[in-house]
């Protein structure tokens, strides 16, 4: 469910003036707890009731952009597109990031609406078309700058992030073997040194992720220099990951996309090649088998108990 994750996302400052009727004034009630009722209304397909409940959620935290997106989503489900458009216009006036290049699949319906004739003909739609053109022109300039960068200022194209565990709640330690799995002498090696047997135990010792760095233009300062090209590396969980910048690797919140119309800490960069298909990352893990043999495998889905969150 979209809005249950709302408070994990960075909020944006909200304007004092309110144009859309939420059924009451904005409040600051961190303890608001109506999520169960919202889930029930959504599950039952009672979208008008869900809209009324989500308005309460928004009023309780008007500075949280994802609660507003949750309201837009519910309005579209309720076939109230004109009202959904007015919410998006309200969000834009408050300085939220109204971005058509949503990465979150739960926002796909909003992205689809923003491609509709109804949206594109609206003042906000026309504004976003202008902003897209500005971003696309800037992207071309930074692509040229990237091509001119010396290799010494870039990470390796086949980058290896060592010692990482690449998802939220990821952990090394005592794992269960779910499928028979060969282990090799080293990452990428063809020399088999042992075999993990289904049903046995193994110890995940460490690992490394093989990836292609993603170049991003930095539009807002903070952990990364503004108007520079940074390279997104591996994801570390809870929205954070590692980024290569000016010869060093830093950890930062990975808030970037195809477009950032309001550059800030919640959307600080734009990817330079949004249409390019990314090479899948490969996670190699070093394991010690029950017989003491130590080897490497990239068949990480053959092992259980890697997720500390269950």
Q: What is the pLDDT of residues 121-146, one digit of tens each?
A: 999 999 999 999 999 999 999 999 99
For 38-91, the pLDDT digits (tens) are 999 999 999 999 999 999 999 999 998 889 999 999 999 999 999 999 999 999
Whole-number average pLDDT of the chain: 89
Instruction: Note the pTM of the prediction, 2 decimals.
Output: 0.78
Per-residue pLDDT at 102 exceeds 70: no
User: Could you tell me which CATH class the domain 159-209+281-304 is placed in?
Assistant: mainly beta
Q: Where exactly are the structural domains of the chain?
A: 3-121, 159-209+281-304
pLDDT of residue 3: 33
pLDDT at 252 over 80: yes
Q: Where do the DSSP E strands lie in 34-157?
A: none
Within 134-199, strands assigned E span 159-162, 173-177, 181-184, 192-196
Q: Could you give the angle at the alpha carbon of 214 between the alpha carbons of 217 and 256, nearest 5°?
A: 50
- Give the pLDDT score at 2: 35
Tell me the average pLDDT across 265-276: 90
The 3 state secondary structure assigned to 193-212 is EEEECCCCEEEEEEEEEEEC
- The predicted pLDDT at position 16 comes to 41
């Amino acid at each position: 469910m979209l809005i249950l994750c709302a408070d994990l996302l960075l909020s944006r400052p909200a304007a004092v003036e309110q144009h859309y009727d939420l059924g009451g004034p904005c409040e600051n009630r961190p303890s608001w707890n109506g999520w169960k009722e919202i889930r029930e209304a959504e599950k039952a397909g009672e979208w008008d009731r869900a809209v009324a409940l989500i308005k309460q959620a928004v009023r309780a935290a008007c500075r949280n952009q994802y609660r507003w997106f949750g309201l837009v989503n519910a309005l579209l489900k309720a076939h109230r597109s004109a009202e959904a458009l007015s919410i998006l216009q309200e969000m834009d006036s408050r300085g939220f990031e109204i971005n058509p290049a949503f990465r979150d699949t739960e926002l796909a319906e909003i992205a689809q609406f923003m491609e509709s004739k109804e949206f594109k003909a609206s003042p906000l739609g026309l504004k976003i078309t202008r902003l897209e053109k500005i971003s696309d022109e800037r992207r071309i300039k930074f692509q040229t700058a990237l091509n001119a960068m010396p290799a010494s200022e870039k990470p390796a194209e086949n980058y290896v992030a060592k010692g990482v565990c690449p998802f939220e709640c990821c952990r090394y330690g005592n794992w269960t073997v779910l499928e028979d799995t060969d282990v090799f002498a080293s990452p990428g090696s063809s020399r088999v040194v042992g075999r993990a047997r289904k049903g046995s135990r193994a110890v995940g010792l460490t690992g490394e992720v093989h990836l292609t760095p993603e170049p991003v233009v930095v539009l807002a300062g903070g952990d990364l220099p503004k108007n520079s090209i940074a390279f997104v590396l591996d994801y570390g969980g809870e929205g954070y990951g590692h980024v290569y910048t000016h010869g060093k690797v830093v950890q930062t919140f990975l808030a970037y996309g195809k477009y950032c119309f309001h550059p800030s800490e919640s959307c600080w960069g734009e990817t330079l090649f949004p249409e390019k298909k990314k090479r899948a990352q490969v996670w190699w893990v070093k394991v010690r088998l029950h017989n003491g043999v130590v080897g490497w495998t990239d068949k990480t889905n053959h092992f259980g108990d890697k997720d500390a969150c269950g």
